[in-house]
Amino acid sequence: MRKITNRGFLAITLLLSMSAICQEMVLMPPELSAHAVTRDVTEYKSREQALIAFIGDKENQQMPLLADDFEVWSDKSRDWQSKDDWLKTARQQANFNIRNLSVRQMDDFAIVNFLLESTDRLDKERSTQFVVDIWRQSTNKLSVRYISDVEPSVQLNPTDRKF
Contact flag: residue 122 with another protein (CB under 8 A): no
Residues 61-120 that bind another protein (CB under 8 A): 64-65, 97, 101-104
**Of the candidates 91, 41, 76, 70, which has an alpha carbon nearest to the alpha carbon of residue 145?**
70
**Of the candidates 162, 160, 156, 143, which has an alpha carbon nearest to the alpha carbon of residue 38?**
162
Contact 113, 102 (CB under 8 A): yes
Greatest Cα-to-Cα distance within the chain, rounded to the nearest angstrom: 86
Contact 63, 87 (CB under 8 A): yes
Q: Which of 12, 14, 18, 50 binds another protein (CB under 8 A)?
A: 50
Q: Which of 13, 19, 46, 127 binds another protein (CB under 8 A)?
A: 46
Q: Which of 4, 9, 53, 85 binds another protein (CB under 8 A)?
A: 53
Residues 23-42 that bind another protein (CB under 8 A): 24-42
Q: Note the residues at the interface with another protein (CB under 8 A).
A: 24-43, 46-47, 49-50, 53-54, 56-57, 64-65, 97, 101-104, 139-140, 158-159, 161-163
